[in-house]
A and B are shown apart, each in its own frame.
Chain A
Amino acid sequence: MSKKIRAAIIGPGNIGTDLLMKALRSAVIEPVWMVGVDPESPGLARAREMGVKTTCDGVDGLIPHMREDNIQICFDATSAYVHAENSRKVNAEGAVMVDLTPAAIGPFCVPPVNLQDAVAAKAMNVNMVTCGGQATIPMVAAVSRVQTVTYGEIVATVSSRSVGPGTRKNIDEFTRTTARGVELIGGAQEGKAIIVINPAEPPLMMRDTIHCLTAEEPDQEAITRSVHDMVAEVQKYVPGYTLKNGPTFDGNRVSIYMEVAGLGDFLPRYAGNLDIMTAAGLRTAEMYAEEILAGRFTPTAA
């Protein structure tokens, strides 16, 4: 068996468990620890059943074991409130932090668009933007790499069941962070994000609409090709990322309609919005792992 980079997951909730299931299949990541705070946590029990070590003492319970277990990558699937502290602690032990919370203290990372930049910059903390950002920013980038996008707007429609209490308490953070990602990573001069929550039963698959306004008349052929290429890139880690309609053109407006089905590991398939986060987080970690294994990068404490 080829060598793998060892990792820890902080946060044994739905996201952390789904991420663990995906990481167990990885060719380059070996999940070793699951970190929680509640000894009764069903997530920690699940992790033990899947054969990883657990602690219920939070990140402080992990720190003493990080060097002996050679943990070089950590995932944070807790909340923005505790992320900065978690990140500082694991960075001090020489591990890269992949941030799945909305804290965004490190650079944004949307794998098919700028993962290579983040890895090349040897950032010790990378942030996965938001679920809506992961699902839509690749499409904005697919248009902006062809020609100037003066305005990029995304509408994410998600099932009520897939929106957790953290997002509900701070939905503005979603709209603001996603809009910023549309600008910084998507390459739109101005970004806007809208989220709609739909309670229909059975739950609807995540749907995303991307509207770009181009500075000049859109080059329909080049944009269509670029969009299809980018869809294929995302499908490498989210097979259920599907172009439903478009790109359609109306004057300078380019509209793209996506559906995102998850793999259905721990999270249900309709929760493509959560699946794309765990898949993007793992994809990011794998890229770091490949760099580490190739000897091009050694994560070190700052």
Chain B
Amino acid sequence: MNLQGRKVQVHDMSLRDGMHPKQHQITVGEMVEIAVAMDEAGITLIEVTHGDGLGGASVNYGFPAASDEEYLTAVCKAVKKTKVSALLLPGIGTVDHLKMAVGCGISTIRVATHCTEADVSEQHISMATQIPGLDTVGFLMMAHMIPAEELVVQLKLMESYGANCVYITDSAGYMLPDDVTSRIALARAELKPETELGFHGHHNLGMGIANSLAAVDAGANRIDGSLAGLGAGAGNTPLEVFLAVCDRMGVETGVDLFKAMDVAEDLIVPLMDHMVRVDRDSLTLGWAGVYSSFLLFAKRSAAKYGLSARDILVELGRRRTVGGQEDMIEDLAMDMARARDKA
């Protein structure tokens, strides 16, 4: 693979996807300290919100340590060169949240839907395009669940609403490099040349780096990752590792590798409640194709009802659950416990 001279915009997820393994309890102070350190390392785009995006504060997904408005206001004020993005899942957040985030100073809004439901993003993407200078991104989650041809139809919908960048998102960390290549390549061929293309990986099968490289090779120019991999499941593509590989391959990211490594080691790792890594349960997510943020919910329900988290996750995969269905986990665990007690 020759990627010499390719330019990639990396986008750090530690302060949004990283909220999942932290059960949304990262403090405003911790966010500011990490954001400033990333700014100094040359990471120019970072995402900040509740793990489930704007408006995610809920019983269903967890109440955060501070509000989206408090996080965004503090981080946007603290950074100099770095720009801040917010995630919005229609059905959870609304255009009111979007306007609030713009008021806080975000530069990028990412509107995320399940891979087959792009049309629910029209309202939010259209509104975002009316805000001058707002980088507007469409984000198709669980993209492993449909073939490339169907995915491109949905990406084009988001493009038609006005997104200047669209993402293929491996929310379950299920994809293998060939899955990424076929999807990104077809999208690159079919979308307008000026529409940017991104890839968001999870490391559940240990494929975060390989998949991100496959994405760049097939035509993606934005890559999501998080320092020390702080993200749902086995984490996102570990960003400092990806940066080191890019450096070796001659891919330009503009990031100071050693500084990024230091932020990962000195600030992110000490923040972790548990080591974010490929373990039995996060590996099950990747193997079974399950939304990565289900991990801790499955572990909690398994403990409460005396079940195996792996059994719960495998069943969630079999039922083809999608992002946002966290409420089904305890529901399913109660069914499984009842079935066991009857047996």
Residue with the greatest number of chain A CB neighbours at <10 A, chosen from B92, B321, B335: B92
CB-CB under 8 A from A194, the residues of chain B are 58, 60, 91-92, 324
| Contact bitstring B68-93, A, C-beta under 8 A = 1, else 0 | 00000000000000000000001110
CB-CB under 8 A from A176, the residues of chain B are 94
Contact, CB under 8 Å: B330 / A255: yes
CB-CB under 8 A from A155, the residues of chain B are 60, 324, 327
Contact, CB under 8 Å: B334 / A245: yes
Contact, CB under 8 Å: B120 / A153: no
CB-CB under 8 A from B328, the residues of chain A are 157, 207, 209
CB-CB under 8 A from B321, the residues of chain A are 198
Looking across the interface, which residue of chain A has its beta carbon closest to that of B119?
A168
| Contact bitstring A245-259, B, C-beta under 8 A = 1, else 0 | 110100001010100
CB-CB under 8 A from B322, the residues of chain A are 196-200
Contact, CB under 8 Å: A199 / B114: yes
Instruction: Judge if B280 is at the interface, Cβ distance under 8 Å.
Output: no
Looking across the interface, which residue of chain A has its beta carbon closest to that of B118?
A168
Contact, CB under 8 Å: B59 / A253: yes
A-B interface contact total, Cβ < 8 Å: 93
* Residue in A151, A153, A196, A207 whose beta carbon sits within 8 Å of that of B91 in the complex: A196
Which residues of chain A from 150 to 208 have a CB within 8 Å of any chain B CB?
151, 153, 155, 157, 160, 165, 168-172, 174-176, 192, 194-200, 204, 207
Contact, CB under 8 Å: B59 / A153: yes
Contact, CB under 8 Å: A245 / B90: no
Instruction: Judge if A236 is at the interface, Cβ distance under 8 Å.
Output: no
| Contact bitstring A61-79, B, C-beta under 8 A = 1, else 0 | 0000000000000000000
Q: How many residues of B contact A (CB 8 A)?
A: 30
* A204 CA / B319 CA spacing, docked (Å): 9
Instruction: Judge if A211 is at the interface, Cβ distance under 8 Å.
Output: yes
Looking across the interface, which residue of chain B has its beta carbon closest to that of A199?
B116
* A253 CA / B58 CA spacing, docked (Å): 12
Contact, CB under 8 Å: A160 / B94: no
* A200 CA / B115 CA spacing, docked (Å): 12
Which residues of chain A from 234 to 276 have a CB within 8 Å of any chain B CB?
244-246, 248, 253, 255, 257
Contact, CB under 8 Å: B117 / A160: yes
CB-CB under 8 A from B116, the residues of chain A are 160, 199
A250 → chain B closest CB, angstroms: 8
Residue with the greatest number of chain A CB neighbours at <10 A, chosen from B59, B116, B123, B335: B59
Looking across the interface, which residue of chain A has its beta carbon closest to that of B95?
A172
Instruction: Judge if B122 is at the interface, Cβ distance under 8 Å.
Output: yes
| Contact bitstring B314-332, A, C-beta under 8 A = 1, else 0 | 0000011111110110110
A214 → chain B closest CB, angstroms: 12
Residue with the greatest number of chain A CB neighbours at <10 A, chosen from B323, B325, B335: B325
Contact, CB under 8 Å: B120 / A192: no
* Residue in B60, B95, B117, B335 whose beta carbon sits within 8 Å of that of A209 in the complex: B60
Which residues of chain B from 114 to 134 have a CB within 8 Å of any chain A CB?
114, 116-117, 119-120, 122-124
Q: Can you identify 15 A-B contacts, CB atoms within 8 angstroms? A: A153-B58, A155-B324, A155-B327, A157-B325, A157-B328, A165-B119, A171-B90, A172-B124, A196-B91, A198-B114, A198-B321, A207-B331, A209-B60, A213-B59, A255-B330
Chain B interface residues toward A at CB < 8 A: 58-60, 90-92, 94-96, 114, 116-117, 119-120, 122-124, 319-325, 327-328, 330-331, 334-335
Please list the 7 inter-chain residue pairs (A to B) with the smallest Cβ-Cβ separation, ordered nearest first: A209-B327, A211-B59, A196-B324, A172-B94, A200-B320, A199-B116, A195-B91
